[in-house]
Amino acid sequence: MKWNRSSEGVLDMALCDAHLYQYVTDRYFDRLNTLSPISRAAEIFRLETESLSVELLEDDEFFGRLFFVSDPPYPVRCFSDSVISQEAAVLINAPMAHGSRTVVDKAHTIADYRYLLENGLSAYRERIEHELTAAPGNEMLLAMRTSLTAVEALAERMRAAATENKNSCPRAGEIAEALRQVPFSPARSFREAVQAVWLVHFLLPVAEHAYYSISFGRVDQYLYPYYERSLAEGMTRDEAKRILFQLYALLNDYTDAACLLNIGPKYNALSELIIECQRELALPAPILGARIAESTPDSALDLLVDETLFTRGQPTFYGEESCVRALLEKGVPEKQALCFSNSSCMGISLAGEEYDSMWGCVLSVSAILEAAVNRGRLLSKEVTVPGIGEVTDLDSLYTAFRGAAEHLFAICAASYEARADLVERYDPDPFLSLLTEDCIARRCDRISGARYHNATVECMGMINAADGIAAIDTLVFKKKRYTISEMTEAVRGNFKDAARLRAEIAACPKYGQSPEGDAYAVKVAEILQEVIRRHRRGNLFYCPSLHTLTANVQYGAEWGAGYDGRPAGAPFAKNAGPSDEVRRKDPTSLILSAAGLPQHKFFGGQPIDLNFSADMIRNHKQKIVVLIRTYLKKGGLQLQVNSLSAKLMRAAVRDPEGHRDLIVRRGGYSVYFNDLSEAQKQSFIRRTEIEEGNV
Amino acid sequence: MTGTIFDIQKFCVHDGPGIRTTVFFKGCPLRCPWCHNPESRSRKRELLFYPEKCTGCGSCRELSIERGELVCPQGARILCGRRVTTDEVMAEVRRDFDFYAAGGGGVTLSGGEPLFQPAFARAILKACRKEGIHTAVETCGITDSEALASVAEYTDLFLFDVKETDAARYKAYTGADHATVMRSLSFLNTLGKAVVLRCPIIPGYNDREEHYEEICRIANTTESVLRIELLPYHALGEGKYTALGIDEPKIMPPREEEVERILAYLSARTEKEVRRA
């Protein structure tokens, strides 16, 4: 059982996936249905770990093969206490009426692997037991205890299997010895450290019932002491490389490639080994998140700006100082902020302290603009935002925009919080909770127990809306060539009889094209981040973001034309890049425009995408380094790369079999081009053509 | 000071060291049959029309009459060439200052032929020098020493075209006098200006060993020459010929193996660095 492909062409987990959960809940339904949600969650986790098969293969360097032999279909069972009231259903679905969406986006987590390796899972057990002395019978603490016992039993089965396989696997003895130590006691060697990390990493999606985007954090930092120690004790670099190779093979077998390995900004011998593995294996997973500080030497960038890596959309570059500044802006104390880890597609996270709902909300900024321009009414949806007056100038337009944003985001926030409440009540996760501060101390689930519960808010269509405001300001307020009503009717009709107006909109200032166009985007960004962040309460942080993945295609397909000239159904702008209405884009202009946005206030993540030809990477590497450093120094959080040509992708469309190895950057992670939907493929091709100046 | 340009391109990596912004001057004294910027030849504004992009919307007719400038939402009709002031050019150019500073880049004047508008070229170069921006000028050398001296005062690097070394062929291909080219190069050498020889490889025109040997002789005997850069012909500009309503050149780009051979041939005959642009 290898790849499962959904209708979207997204790769699902293979070694372990939703089938395991469905099997367990179906087979043990009657018993599970009698339990409370917390106890049930622990019991499901225990049954899932028991149902896993374990197998040591001949070439294994550590015990990695945990899997479930499934025989679907398994019916999806609903427990009788998992009832959503009519009132709650209305609340949680309300954003859809205006084109926004909310979800409690599970997974997207990083355990505190440094703590795990230094202390073992026993340290968590001790803390749970300590809390139980003060609160005996606390259901969450007991569930946490049960979860750890399940992990212990699984590790013991793995150790026994390794012992039985001593003849077939040369390293079985070492592996069995390692499993005697980890994950419950501190790691003593590189092999033990990787074993412990892998086991916990594997179990996190099992516990969350969400099989994607679980990251490793600062691998080259927390694994380095064990690497050094093992080298001193006789391990060779090649042995370490074999261990990492196995880790990479496992990740590509089972993940959707949104798992991130963080390296830097101080690059050591292990960082270099990881980069070497990434180059040699040239697989989609994991994402290599390369942190670049001003002090990072050029030698590190020389390794990272590499044709093999770039053709696979690797690495993602993160600005060290910019990310710290973003966390400080969020309200994280400096000492913690300096220890951040990058996570999944765009996270700036604190390992072991956060619950990251990375797509917690998609906010339709197009809806906000339509309401602002049209006295609260949307053009194609039966929604009216109250209290929005007529706009007569740019100031009143921004005021109306802010009012519409406040109203529509309040609906989203209420929806998200209702969802989160339901998840905490009916879908708790004792295993992830025990690994997340401060859940043990608070004796509660990760939703309200995590120090930081982040709901990322993707501001979908923000750039298009800003360009729309620029067009209105230019053509209505300044030049008085059209009225608001005329522009609105043209937009409503998809510019069918308004080619002339559309031509004039095309000539208006746009983000990514000029400082004048950028100014509108900066203003809109400031308004949105203020409105969004004001809803923070308790441990819940709403994190503004301009990270779209390729959802800009999907959301654009569902929305009508825009005041920026975007035709109905066309993609919205991708990430923090300009819209497709901007005909020519060069990297320096893109960088200057994106760096002008208040990125530190969009601490939910804000990448730009740069595509480089093979010639550029081979012959002008230093110039690419200059681009990267300059962008990050100017406050850029994140920079994603590709090395593609439109010609290559068109060839792949015609001949998929002949291009099976073509990997592209899909939003925050790399994926095989053949696995994209047709609309996503065409969007990639079009954007590349624009960058190449062929449109 | 004003002048006529047809483009300002950012992130140019083949027009000098580092990341550069290239200002393309309109107007050129030559008529090279292999030119990949045919819209640069005339100093006048010109219309390019791409019929495959035209949707027949008619916007160009109404808006252009009203506004006195060409508007086409599809980019099917493009009016090439605009009058700009030095300040307007510098406003655009200085935006990328951080990129120049970080990587030894700067501004390059190209075209067309920048020395066809020497006063304008000098004004831009002077303004760049004042702001600490590295300057380069790409020239065919068809100019007089007075213009060259006025521009050279503020130029850090010359990208000097060596299109053809045989005088008769040079005249036949370009319409200009090769002796003028050599006088200009000699003049730059006496000024001690850094020069990169830019040598297009045009199959059927200058792909001869005598020509390559002469390039090497020039490089070896001209102290100012830092290196030789080869520019293999490419057909990317051919669509512009059609858009201008003139015949496309019928030139096949050189094969990769041939370019490698020429690189090796030149490298064996000069101590100066030889590379692709």
The chain A residue lying nearest B14, using CA atoms, is: A620
The chain B residue lying nearest A500, using CA atoms, is: B59
C-beta separation of A419 from A90 below 8 A: no
C-beta separation of A378 from A364 below 8 A: no
- Cβ separation A503–B9 shorter than 8 A: no
Task: Indicate which of A626, A631, A632, A695 best probes the interface with B, i.e. most B CBs within 10 Å of its own CB.
Answer: A626
Query: Strand B106-111 vs strand B20-25: parallel, antiparallel, or unpaired?
Result: parallel
Q: Considering CB atoms only, which of B62, B95, B103 is closest to A623?
A: B103
The chain A residue lying nearest B101, using CA atoms, is: A626
- What distance in Å separates the CA atoms of residue A638 and residue A632, rounded to the nearest whole number? 7
As a whole number, mean pLDDT of residues A191-205 equals 96
Give the distance, in angstroms, between the CA of residue A287 and the centroid of all CA atoms in the same chain.
Answer: 11
* Cβ contacts of A474 within 8 Å, gap of 6 or more: A508, A509
Cα angle for residues A219, A221, A223 (degrees, 5° grid): 60
pLDDT value at A673 more than 90: no
- What distance in Å separates the CA atoms of residue A203 and residue A64, rounded to the nearest whole number? 12
pLDDT value at A15 more than 60: no
Q: Beta-carbon neighbour count of residue B269 at 10 Å?
A: 17
Per-residue pLDDT, B70? 66
Per-residue pLDDT, B63? 62
Is residue B220 very low, low, confident or very high in pLDDT (cuts 50, 70, 90)?
very high
Question: How much helix, strand and coil, in percent to the nearest 5, is found in chain B?
Answer: 40, 25, 35
- Cβ separation A616–B13 shorter than 8 A: yes
Is residue B127 very low, low, confident or very high in pLDDT (cuts 50, 70, 90)?
very high
Is residue B69 very low, low, confident or very high in pLDDT (cuts 50, 70, 90)?
low
Q: Which spans in A349-480 are helix H?
A: 365-373, 394-426, 430-434, 439-442, 446-449, 462-472
Question: Mean pLDDT across chain A, nearest whole number?
Answer: 92
* Cβ contacts of B20 within 8 Å, gap of 6 or more: B11, B12, B13, B100, B105, B106, B107, B108, B136
Give the distance, in angstroms, between the CA of residue A350 and the centroid of all CA atoms in the same chain.
Answer: 14
Per-residue pLDDT, A7? 36
Using one digit for the tens of pLDDT, what is the confidence trace for B192-201? Answer: 999 999 999 9
As a whole number, mean pLDDT of residues B4-31 equals 94
C-beta separation of B42 from B25 below 8 A: no
Query: Strand A540-545 vs strand A347-349: parallel, antiparallel, or unpaired?
Result: unpaired
A503 touches chain B (CB under 8 A): yes
C-beta separation of A70 from A24 below 8 A: no
Whether the bond into B175 is cis, omega within 30 of 0: no
A53 touches chain B (CB under 8 A): no
Using one digit for the tens of pLDDT, what is the confidence trace for A446-496? Answer: 999 999 999 999 999 999 999 999 999 999 999 999 999 999 999 999 999
Q: Considering CB atoms only, which of B19, B55, B98 is closest to A623?
A: B19
As a whole number, mean pLDDT of residues B6-20 equals 93
Q: Considering CB atoms only, which of B18, B55, B59 is closest to A623?
A: B18
Q: Give A302→chain B minimum CA distance, Å.
A: 14
pLDDT value at B222 more than 90: yes
Using one digit for the tens of pLDDT, what is the confidence trace for A651-665? Answer: 889 888 777 767 676
Question: Mean pLDDT across chain B, nearest whole number?
Answer: 92
Task: Indicate which of B96, B229, B275 best probes the interface with A, i.e. most A CBs within 10 Å of its own CB.
Answer: B96
Task: Indicate which of A301, A496, A500 best probes the interface with B, i.e. most B CBs within 10 Å of its own CB.
Answer: A500
Range from A297-306, A686-695, B212-221 carrying the lowest mean pLDDT: A686-695
Is residue A691 very low, low, confident or very high in pLDDT (cuts 50, 70, 90)?
low
Is residue A167 very low, low, confident or very high in pLDDT (cuts 50, 70, 90)?
confident
- Cβ separation B63–A504 shorter than 8 A: yes
Q: Report chain A residues whose CB lies below 8 A from the CB of B276.
A: 619
pLDDT value at A129 more than 70: yes
- What distance in Å separates the CA atoms of residue A485 and residue A434, rounded to the nearest whole number? 57
Whether the bond into B29 is cis, omega within 30 of 0: no
- What distance in Å separates the CA atoms of residue A1 and residue A300, rounded to the nearest whole number? 38
- What distance in Å separates the CA atoms of residue A25 and residue A11, rounded to the nearest whole number? 24
Range from A234-248, A252-266, A277-291, A380-394 carrying the lowest mean pLDDT: A252-266
As a whole number, mean pLDDT of residues B223-251 equals 88
DSSP A572: P
Give the distance, in angstroms, between the CA of residue A530 and the centroid of all CA atoms in the same chain.
Answer: 22
Q: Give A549→chain B minimum CA distance, Å.
A: 26
Q: Give B64→chain A minimum CA distance, Å.
A: 11
pLDDT value at B49 more than 90: no
Per-residue pLDDT, A13? 41
- Cβ separation A619–B276 shorter than 8 A: yes
Query: Strand B77-80 vs strand B157-161: parallel, antiparallel, or unpaired?
Result: unpaired
Closest by CA to B238, choosing from B246, B229, B230, B228, is: B246
Query: Strand B106-111 vs strand B82-85: parallel, antiparallel, or unpaired?
Result: unpaired
Whole-structure pTM value: 0.91
Q: What percent of chain A has pLDDT over 90?
A: 77
As a whole number, mean pLDDT of residues A596-611 equals 94
- What distance in Å separates the CA atoms of residue B52 and residue B70, rounded to the nearest whole number? 18
Is residue A176 very low, low, confident or very high in pLDDT (cuts 50, 70, 90)?
very high
- Cβ separation A583–B75 shorter than 8 A: yes
Prediction ipTM score = 0.90
Tokens encoding A260: 């991130």
DSSP B89: H
Per-residue pLDDT, A670? 64
A537 touches chain B (CB under 8 A): no
Beta strands in A125-216 (DSSP E): none
